[in-house]
Amino acid sequence: MSKALRQRDYQAMAAFRYGLRKFLRFSKDFLAEVHLTPEQYEVLLALTAFSPKEGLVIGELSEQLQVKHHTAVSLIDRLARQKLVTRQRDAIDRRKVHVRLTASGTALTARLANVHRDALRKLVPELSTALKRIKG
């Protein structure tokens, strides 16, 4: 059974969430400059990180993003209009649609991820301290 929370537990959890909020605020503002939403960036990042040669199917993307299938489709529609991703039906199972980054999508993701990594590196000490405090 869990022990009762102490004031320092609340403070540690609040500090961690504060660090996350700072990063997410930075990300949202930065991405707005390139006309992307955080969710669209997450699609690009997931495709870069987890996509095999043939791309990810929409169901895999919706799982990675923790969104409903139709939400993933909507995000992909917008990214396809910006020519950052392409879609291709599976040759064997026509119900499956593979999503891949275009060359432009790959280049943009690399540039955005570089800036995000630098921002995260600045927050690592703060987030790490909060996590250690939570761990006990």
Q: Which of 107, 108, 106 is nearest to 36 (CA)?
A: 108
Could you report the per-residue pLDDT of 23-53, keeping only the tens digit for each?
999 999 999 999 999 999 999 999 999 988 8
pLDDT value at 2 more than 80: no
Domains in the chain and their CATH numbers? 7-135 (1.10.10.10)
Model pLDDT, residue 53:
83
Q: Are 116 and 27 in contact (CB under 8 A)?
A: yes
Rounded to an integer, what distance in angstroms lies between the CA atom of residue 60 and that of residue 64?
6
Task: Report d(CA 27, CA 36) in Å as an integer.
Answer: 10
Residue 125 has pLDDT above 70, yes or no: yes
Report the predicted TM-score, pTM, of the whole model to 2 decimal places: 0.89
In 1-136, alpha helices (H): 7-33, 38-50, 58-65, 69-81, 103-135
